[in-house]
Amino acid sequence: MQKKITIAIDGYSSCGKSTLAKALAKELEYIFIDSGAMYRGVTVYCLRNNLLPDGIPAVAEIETILGKIDLNFKFNPETKQADLYLNGENIEKLIRLPEVASNVSKIAALKNVRHKLVLEQRKMGNNGGIVMDGRDIGSVVFPAAELKLFITALPEIRAQRRYKELIEKQVETSYDEVLENLRERDYLDSTRTESPLIQTPDAIVIDTSDLTTEEQLNIALNYTLEKVQKL
Ligand code: DC
């Protein structure tokens, strides 16, 4: 049997990382983990418990309640995808709401939140055979990942894609709101002190601006096969 490797996919918001990671995992029969969903899950908990008054994280309080947050992915037979559960409740729809999107970068910048989630992510990928997407997967979560992909695309193209996705999910928003939120998140994600989004020297860059999802998948599959064959 072919050895199963760890694949880290990082990049800016809405570059198509999750779509690519999901398709790649399906093709390879690997586990797919959307690490951004976990940061969104913690944000849902904080919003519900008034831990983001006026949009500012109550850092000390958030640290004390982290132990109460239990996040789990469970397979949904209807959608054939993994849904995120927060303390037993399916929050898959909630984590995509604009209110969550506009607050998540602030929560993802907190050291203790990152510490908790990175430990959980590492446990999920202990045995290889995993495709995980996020911002710090190749740099912090799995620095020894056999394959690291860094995905980019023009901001306007990314905003258009995310806008279409949200409209299809019947989330009320505008293109301008999506573009502004995306730029703000890019800025916060790449300038924060704790594990900022960086391109590691060993990562392979894929610009998806002019690529179809199928083309992206083929490129990623070729890189995977190349890596697996060399093991
Ligand atoms: O990929 P996404 O848009 O669902 O990510 C949501 C937020 O979480 C985004 O602001 C970046 C942050 N994030 C992070 O800091 N580290 C990760 N590994 C994944 C996401």
CATH number at 166 reads 3.40.50.300
What's the per-residue H, E or C state across 167-210?
Answer: HHCCCCCCHHHHHHHHHHHHHHHHHCCCCCCCCCCCCEEEECCC
Q: Look at residue 98 in the predicted model and tell me its pLDDT.
A: 86
From residue 171, alpha-carbon distances to 18, 132, 163, 165 in Å are 19, 26, 9, 9
Q: Residue of the nearest CA to atom 3 in ligand 1? A: 13
What's the average pLDDT block by block, 10 residues per block, for the chain (231 residues)?
A: 89 92 96 96 98 97 97 92 96 94 94 97 92 97 97 95 90 93 91 94 96 97 94 84
Tokens coding 67:
């132990």
* Alpha-carbon gap, residue 186 to 191, rounded angstroms: 8
Question: Which residues' Cβ are closer than 6 Å to ligand 1?
Answer: 13, 35-36, 39-40, 104-105, 108, 134-137, 185, 189
- The answer to whether position 96 is within a domain reads yes
Residue 78 covered by a domain: yes
Q: Which of 13, 135, 183 to mutate to test the pocket of ligand 1 (most atoms within 8 A of CB)?
A: 135
pLDDT value for 13: 87
Calculate how far, in angstroms, residue 95's C-alpha sits from the geometric centre of ligand 1: 12
* Residue 115 counted as domain residue: yes
Q: For the chain, how many structural domains are there in total?
A: 1
148 falls within a domain: yes
- What's the pLDDT at 127? 85
Of the candidates 202, 54, 29, 45, which has an alpha carbon nearest to the alpha carbon of residue 117?
Answer: 45
CA of 109 to the centre of ligand 1 (A): 10
Q: Return the best residue to mutate from 19, 91, 161, 189 for the ligand 1 pocket (most ligand atoms within 8 A of CB).
A: 189
Q: What is the pLDDT of residue 27?
A: 96
Residue 206 lies in domain: 6-230
Judge contact between 33 and 124, C-beta under 8 A.
yes
Within a domain: 1: no
What's the confidence (pLDDT) of residue 79? 87
Instruction: Give φ, ψ of 43 to 5 degrees.
Output: -65, -40
pLDDT at 221: 98
Distances (CA, A) of 66 to 51, 70, 144, 187: 12, 9, 27, 26
Query: Residue 229 and residue 142: Cα distance in Å, rounded?
Result: 20
Give me the pLDDT at residue 1, please: 54
